[in-house]
Amino acid sequence: MPYTTLISASQLDQLRTDQSTNHSSDLVVLDCQTSLADLREGYRIYCDGHYPGAKHADLDIHGASAPSSNEGSDGRHPLPDPDQLLHHMQRWGIHNHTQVVVYDRANGAFASRFWWCLRWLGHNQVAVLDGGLSQFKGALEVGEDPTRDGSISPASLGTCTRRPALTRIATTQQVLERTNQTNANLIDARTQERFDGLNEPIDPIAGHIPGATCLPFQGNLTEDGCFATPQVLAERFAASQAPNTPEPICYCGSGVTAAHNLLAMVHAGLPEPLLYPPSWSGWITDPTRPRAP
């Protein structure tokens, strides 16, 4: 059975053992460690120690496009070009049947983005390592990612293809229409301070989209950094599943941590929400759009 939401460290270790025993290419592990403050730091952390055999998936190189020149209307981390992402997936050695596991050391924030992006290209067998790399108790591998630069032998390339998306995207117009509804069902994954406009360390304007509910992605986790049980997660998002309520639309600052809430809801067995990729950073580029507080 493929893993499609979360996978434990012990389950991943067993998959790696099976892969080694069977000499198969059914497993690819992606290290998604990223630093928003220093674009080179994520790869340095990877080189200093990563899960054995993992490849490095960088948010800015692989998981996002450069912001557009259209006044940043697509946000700080626009979705990657799908053809380019597919190219990277093939360089990582991913086939249509491959089980992909993604992880980070940031409470799953960056790994969840790659979980969403691979599913956006139709790859269902992708799961986030629950609790991140800290849950792995074996010896880390040190060194560079051979797929990052240079040529790769044709035998090492994956043959994955783009298939129908398993995810859905909300447009700015859809979000704008929600701001006029009594129950907008917009879920903001940022901290309460940023939501309330009391502290905005990244974007030039503070606040949130009117009608939104603040459910910080960190609330999906237990004290050990692992996801809460499906039952607890379902209860957390219960309000957004009330009868006659429009399906949830998730957003955050730039469309990255919102994927954490999406993962939590899918893991809880709830219908998958829509993602608003531009999120707050894209929303505020048009002064005619309403803002709160």
Active-site residues, by number, are 252
User: What are the φ/ψ torsions at residue 211 (nearest 5 degrees)?
Assistant: 90, -5
The residues near 170 (Cβ < 8 Å, ≥ 6 apart) are 249, 274, 275, 276
What type of residue is 50? Answer: H
b/e burial code for range 124-141 (CB count within 10 A of at least 16 → b): ebbbbbbbbbebbeeeee
Q: Is-contact 58 34, C-beta < 8 A?
A: yes
In the block, tokens 């531009």 appear at 278
Strand partners, 213: 187
- Report d(CA 150, CA 242) in Å as an integer: 52
Q: Is-contact 289 210, C-beta < 8 A?
A: no
